Structure 1
């Protein structure tokens, strides 16, 4: 028998496609209405021990009271966050895999260190914001930011400055400090702020440009000393530490941390996660973790967070065009 007899006509196929798409859409919306019915994976694109990891784990712990399923924290470090975010972007947009996003989401693309952009994710909520800070060992010979910068200038790029990876905000913060002061550092990348701080503790580098939160335990223990913060005003818990602006250096730069899902995640799922995230952010246990580690609380909903991301994208595109970030 002629096989063509059993082949559907082109007209039948064309008629079938919209119906199939509608059916698939209906299934997707039904699944979204049932969200969540299994654990949610929360990607942390940096090593354990840093501020980003601390925010994620505090969120996951507080989420037990507001999300019907377990939030599982999974560290996927590398490439200043790009590896974890690329994994997020490639995931099915169903809300079961979300990630902590940081300012590197908008600094890596203009540095040509990532193929994605912030448009490839859907913001859920911002949870935290922190400035960069210059920290050295307590036994270092520099007691002020002026002494440290003078030594860096005299040594012509030999002082090693640890950061959370090439192209990370802490790398960019140190490069911006170079641009403002005319000094040069030997930029030393690590897979997160935590490993950079441990290298400083071990005497392997001279300083770090990470957030106050990532050094607070060692500063309080008298093992590290923070020389200056890159903020508009002094930071809680570091009230004795001057800002760069107080020392005549007009530089304020830092990170934010929030949550995002893949692009095209159903609005119903984003709405659920947005509502839950606001409740989680206001949980005393979550706020206590941030306070204890000197992580700045800076909640914003999805639309406010999206607007802030767009603003920072423009700011860092301009900054990257001005500074040498090749190290």
Structure 2
């Protein structure tokens, strides 16, 4: 009897092991797709392609990057909504996408997405023309408080991240700035270099080359701490301004309803990808710091915190989105 029970248990175990192995591997038994809701060639697209390249080697499956620009990220979100909630189709998300949600209200990232992980954080520089009279962030703020509306700034459009953040800044410090929207950051940077703008809050990867060439001057990094990429540059907090930082985070998500074990397996794989030495080198080149989420709830907390200040600014200032996708 004992021998018979042992044989039965062994047989059941031998059947269970293949099922467990299948369950662990079946989530990635087909090619994966990552939707980038922006044009090819930009910062988000480049980062996503780096991740896709490493991920396909790890999963032994093709990982396709599918650019779906337009509609201020709406077209990309619609493409994800049409895909099965099985973890085979992901979407690249970022801070600017959240700002668009707040001011457009045409999609809800927290309700529509199963968040996987943040993968990087890029600090933002507060830059002025090289010939600007302002040597510090505090000097610029003091001038703006005395002469409301005299200083202008560029952004990616009404309702975009830069516009929301500067609006929050102006209300916090009692200053007033004139907003000039642009279709793209390269256009805003060009106008700043030529002295047509007084300042631009700009992601480090876009501003740093101009700062290094002496074409722009960085007054501070818009974070609570200094950046390892510019250790001598003071933080916004050191300049006496205490408002939420303007940092550009990037991450990946799947469609809401994707099984939690699949989300967790994807998170673990992406964390391993971001830990590769070559990935750190490539992100360093763009002024980005690798930062992954310990779990999807941590990523959700980040989105909720940013949504909170963005939504308050948009409501208080009655800002509606007019940004290009």
TM-score (norm 2): 0.77
CA distance in 1 between partners of 2:187 and 2:267 (Å): 31
Partner of 1:25: none
SS of residue matched to 2:228: coil
Relative to structure 2, which stretch is displaced further, 307-316 or 229-238?
A: 307-316
Q: Are 1:257 and 2:250 an aligned pair?
A: yes
Give the alignment partner of residue 129 of structure 2, picking from 116, 124, 137.
137
1:2-81 matches, within 5 Å, as 34-48=26-40, 50-78=42-70, 80-81=72-73
Task: Give the aligned length.
Answer: 298
Partner of 1:274: 267
Indicate how the Cα distance of structure 1 residues 67 and 73 shifts in structure 2: closer, same or farther if over 3 A, else same.
same
8 A contact 2:80–2:91 mirrored in 1 = yes
CA deviations over 1:44-80 (Å, ceiling 9, x no partner):
3334555433432332233243232233334434455
SS of residue matched to 2:127: strand
Indicate how the Cα distance of structure 1 residues 52 and 318 shifts in structure 2: closer, same or farther if over 3 A, else same.
same
8 A contact 2:129–2:194 mirrored in 1 = no
CA RMSD of aligned residues (A): 3.2
CA distance in 1 between partners of 2:127 and 2:90 (Å): 32
CA deviations over 1:206-261 (Å, ceiling 9, x no partner):
43212223312222232222112221111111222222222221123223211001
Partner of 1:227: 219
8 A contact 2:95–2:248 mirrored in 1 = yes
8 A contact 2:138–2:240 mirrored in 1 = no
1:78-97 matches, within 5 Å, as 78=70, 80-97=72-89
CA deviations over 1:151-180 (Å, ceiling 9, x no partner):
555664354422234333222211112112
CA distance in 1 between partners of 2:66 and 2:183 (Å): 15
SS of residue matched to 2:291: strand
1:265-304 matches, within 5 Å, as 265-300=258-293, 301-304=295-298
Indicate how the Cα distance of structure 1 residues 252 and 267 shifts in structure 2: closer, same or farther if over 3 A, else same.
closer
Q: Are 1:216 and 2:208 an aligned pair?
A: yes
CA distance in 2 between partners of 1:155 and 1:315 (Å): 26
1:103-182 matches, within 5 Å, as 103-149=95-141, 152=144, 156-157=148-149, 159-182=151-174
8 A contact 2:110–2:300 mirrored in 1 = no
Partner of 2:319: 325
SS of residue matched to 1:132: strand
Partner of 2:15: none
Indicate how the Cα distance of structure 1 residues 326 and 228 shifts in structure 2: closer, same or farther if over 3 A, else same.
farther
CA distance in 2 between partners of 1:228 and 1:82 (Å): 33
TM-score (norm 1): 0.76
CA distance in 2 between partners of 1:119 and 1:276 (Å): 24
SS of residue matched to 1:299: coil
8 A contact 1:88–1:262 mirrored in 2 = yes
CA distance in 2 between partners of 1:238 and 1:191 (Å): 28
Indicate how the Cα distance of structure 1 residues 210 and 46 shifts in structure 2: closer, same or farther if over 3 A, else same.
farther
Give the CA deviation at 1:193. Answer: 4.4
Which stretches in structure 1 are left out of the alignment for 5+ residues? 1-29
CA distance in 1 between partners of 2:73 and 2:225 (Å): 28
CA distance in 1 between partners of 2:172 and 2:106 (Å): 26
